[in-house]
Structure 1
Amino acid sequence: MSHARLSFVDRTRGLIMMFMALDHALYFWSFGRVSNEGLPLVTNGTLSFLGAGNPSLPASIAMIMASMAAPGFLLIAGYVLALSVKRREETGASSWEISKHLWLRGLALIVLQVLVASPAFNLPAFVNGDLEFSVGVILSLSVLSTIGLGFIFLDLGRHISAWKLMAFTAFLYLLSESLLPHFARAYSGLSWLEQGLRTLLVLPVPFSSQLLLNNNFPVIPWLLPLCLGWLYGRTYKPEKGLAYEGKRWGLSGLISLGLFFILRMAGLGDYLRASSPDQFFVLSKYPPSPDYFLFYLGLVFLLFYLFNRLPKPGRVVAVLDEFGKTPLFFYAVHLWLYALVPALFNHFNRTPLWAGAGIWLMGLVILYPLCRWSVKLRSSLKAILKPNPGIN
């Protein structure tokens, strides 16, 4: 198996990371951003889902771009992890060594979420005096911790076929979807431990410092794109060439988007009903609905296909490459880059959407040389730490 990087993966990841940065720049700087698409709420015993209202066209476009990030990020994480495990198996690594690698990576992501990412997201509430330290604030989980827990899940399930693991994950997802109304209605009457477990595994709820644990990316629903990426990575056949791999992604994208349009027009597959044409693409992200996954994973599949088909990468694609090679560095740095200035001047959510988009672009200009430096530093460290076979 080739050890060369798959450039189309880096380029796709780089693009969706730029979209993610747009979402977070608007989160810290602008008003009018679409947020909380979904979020089950219980009022007087009745379950409802917090919709996005009637967003403007620019806000809707920004939402569609940004909402691609989470499912794309997890799909790519599962795909790359599967390829990494295959390389380790082919080079003779023991099962224990592979398990240790996956657990350490998973735990590192959880720590990064708690110590670096979540404090950045909570910064506006701290600065405004709306938030005090509590266990629930410290245990504020999100996408990185869910990926980390997913890595541990993949280690436990990697000894069975990827198809069986995917089927089991899909079953858990559909079961959690069907039981979601029950989970939401019973939530307020549960003990703090039971609430914490449901929030961790199934049910995102509005953030509260009174909870034992906060988590807007419950593990069970978000295992679906992670394990889907794992499936594609485990079934990747390098001997068939990248053209064949590109066709797999392209066909998957067309099927996924076709199913989305069928379900959405039939009024199925999402908690947020499209009461008007401008709400057709407003889909439940918290928790992720079947329509949400079909639409955004379909777009990511097609991006894989298109970047795989690029005859000659230009300068813009080179920028995507640099961003895509440094996902964790980009994620940690971009959050604090966009959060610190409004924190220092208590200027959160004061700018219109167009100004927030300008700040997003300025942030990308700053991030690009930092990511290039990170790539060079990592290469230098690998060269230093790599054992020299000529030295006894």
Structure 2
Amino acid sequence: MIEDKTEALVADAQAIIEDRPPQRSRIESIDLLRGIIIVIMALDHVHDFFGAPGASPTDLSTTTAPLFFTRWITHFCAPVFFLLTGAGACLTLQRMSKRELSRFLVTRGLWLIVLEVVVMRFALQFNLDYQVTMLTVLWALGWAMIVLAVLIHLPTWAIVAFGVVLVAGHNLLDGVQAEALGSFAPLWSVLHAPGFVINSAQHIVFVAYPLIPWVGVTALGYALGSAYRWRADRRQTLLLWLGIGLSLGFLALRLVNVYGDPVAWSVQKSPLWTALSFLDTRKYPPSLLFLLMTLGPALLLLRAFDGGVPRPLRPAWIIGKVPLFFYVVHFYLIHLLAVAACYLCFGSVGGMFHSPDLGHFPFTAPPGWDFGLPTIYLLWALVVLILYPLCRWYADVKQRRKDWWLSYL
């Protein structure tokens, strides 16, 4: 009988060991998806600097199908960043206690906010007058990390509930207008409706990325990260069915046109344009349908990449190891290319250092500034090709060295 009990204990221990993947400092599928997404993101930013100023690629009355899809494919970037930020925080528990992780999330979150308002603001505008300041993705990611620093001390079910309520329920607040809240209007712009925090003749501060529901997406990503402690087949099943479920949920909820996005789709002049209307969901703030549309396929990609990195995608995997480095440097490179193009084509560059209002953000382009989609795609490829060797070098540095500051860039 003792031998039987011993064998049973050994079997149980073996089952526990087999249910956990080997301890790894990084998850290849997460780095790969992050790298693909950040390369796609660069396309959007090249278009911001080289496309027609003020034009909306998703305005069906003025856009073209190629321009619409150029913008639409980049919609996947922000949701994946926030989701994987949460997942990465959960994976960090392999080498940190929750108390240490909370401290790290707060300090890194504050650092991202500083990066947004100092380093990235200069990258976008090449001036220090602070006449126009736009609070975008790093601002929201920083606050999402700070909120997550508190959430990680709750049970997993409570973290999931928090995320689901924000993601699925925030569209109930769409009817609340910041102007109706009086002195609390700036707070509402920070939380849910893009708008001005400061709007004076001297300074403008505009929140483009309100915190709700982005902090909810990050919380759900943290819960998802626990699946990377499971056996591979169990994790892959979860990613597959979650991805299918969210994608089908988007199709079903969008079809009924009842809830999930402030703007309903409508029948247009052709099937193609009707499809564009169907896909045209709100990003600022991201509606429930926007998040279902983007996160469902993202989870399916995580499932597809779970078996390893295909050789053709290894460059994206390397970039995905150093996403913040790529993010910061690529803005400086794109803006410098825009300055050079302005000088070569127009003979002056004064406007490239000046943005007096939101209508001229991030710079005051000369009349006729629009290089067209073919040139924009070529410049995008050039940016990625230039930055890849730098990312490979920096990824090697981070692998060789363990200096504390490396985790902040």
| Superposition TM-score, scaled by structure 2 size | 0.78
**Amino acid corresponding to residue 73 of structure 1 in structure 2:** F
Match of 2:358 in 1: none
Contact 2:189 2:197 in 1 (8 A): no
Q: Residue 108 of structure 2 aligns with which residue?
A: 105
Partner of 2:234: 244
Specify which of 224, 231, 234 is matched with residue 232 of structure 1.
Answer: 224
Structure whose alpha-carbon radius of gyration is higher:
2
Q: Is the 8 A contact 1:14 1:324 kept in 2?
A: yes
Match of 2:320 in 1: 324
Q: CA RMSD in A?
A: 2.7
Residues 350, 168 of structure 1: alpha-carbon distance in 2 compared, 3 angstrom cutoff: same
Counterpart-to-counterpart distance in 1, 2:80 and 2:317: 16
1:28, 1:338 within 8 Å by CA — same for their partners in 2?
yes
In the other structure, the counterpart of 2:139 is 145
Distance (whole Å) between structure 2 residues aligned to residue 327 and residue 116 of structure 1: 16
SS at structure 2 position matched to 1:284: coil
Indicate conservation of the 8 Å contact 2:89/2:101, yes or no: no
2:256 matches 1:266: yes
Q: Is the 8 A contact 2:23 2:94 kept in 1?
A: no
Q: What number of residue pairs does the alignment pair up?
A: 351
Q: CA deviation at 1:30?
A: 1.6
Q: Cα distance, 1:357 vs. partner?
A: 0.9
1:206/1:198 CA distance change after superposition, 3 Å: closer
Q: Which runs of 5+ in 2 are unaligned?
A: 1-21, 269-273, 343-348, 353-364
Answer yes or no: is 1:255 the counterpart of 2:227: no
Whether contact under 8 Å (2:179, 2:185) holds in the other structure is no
Aligned to 1:333, the other structure's residue is in SS state helix
Alpha-carbon distance in 1 for matches of 2:395, 2:54? 32
For residues 332 and 266 of structure 1, the distance between their equivalents in structure 2, rounded to whole angstroms, comes to 41
Partner in structure 1 of residue 124 of structure 2: 121
C-alpha displacement of 1:264: 1.1
Task: Report the CA distance between 1:252 and its aligned residue.
Answer: 0.9
Q: TM-score, normalised by structure 1?
A: 0.81
Once the 2 structures are TM-superposed, how far is the Cα of residue 236 of structure 1 from its aligned partner? 3.5
Contact 1:88 1:98 in 2 (8 A): yes
Is 1:78 aligned with 2:86?
yes
CA deviations on 1:127-146 (whole Å, 9 max, x unpaired) are xxxx9634xx35x3211121
Identity of aligned residues (%): 29
Distance in 1 (alpha carbons) for counterparts of 2:404 and 2:151:
34
Letter in 2 for 1:382: K
* Number of the residue aligned with 1:6: 27
CA contact (8 A) 2:190 2:207 kept: yes
- Tell me, in whole angstroms, the C-alpha distance in 1 between the residues paired with 2:390 and 2:198: 35
User: Does the residue aligned with 1:195 lie in a helix, a strand or coil?
Assistant: helix
**SS across alignment from 1:214:** strand
1:27-67 per-position Cα deviation (integer Å, ceiling 9, x unaligned): 11123997486xxxxxxxxxxxxx55453121122122100
Q: Does 1:67 align with 2:66?
A: no
Runs of 4 or more above 6 Å deviation: 383-386
- Residues 384 and 101 of structure 1, relative CA distance in 2, 3 Å threshold: closer
- Conserved? CA contact 2:53–2:370, under 8 Å: no
2:214 counterpart of 1:222: yes
Q: Where does residue 203 of structure 1 map in the other structure? A: 193
Shift in alpha-carbon separation, 1:26–1:234, aligned structure 2, 3 A: same
The equivalent of 2:334 in structure 1 is 338
Q: Aligned partner of 1:141: which letter?
A: L
SS of equivalent residue, structure 1 residue 68: helix
Aligned equivalents of 1:17, 1:246: Cα separation in 2: 23
| CA distance, structure 2, for counterparts of residue 25 and residue 209 of structure 1 | 28
Gaps of 5+ in 1: 38-50, 90-94, 387-392
Report the CA distance shift for 1:384/1:290 in structure 2 as closer, same or farther (over 3 A): closer
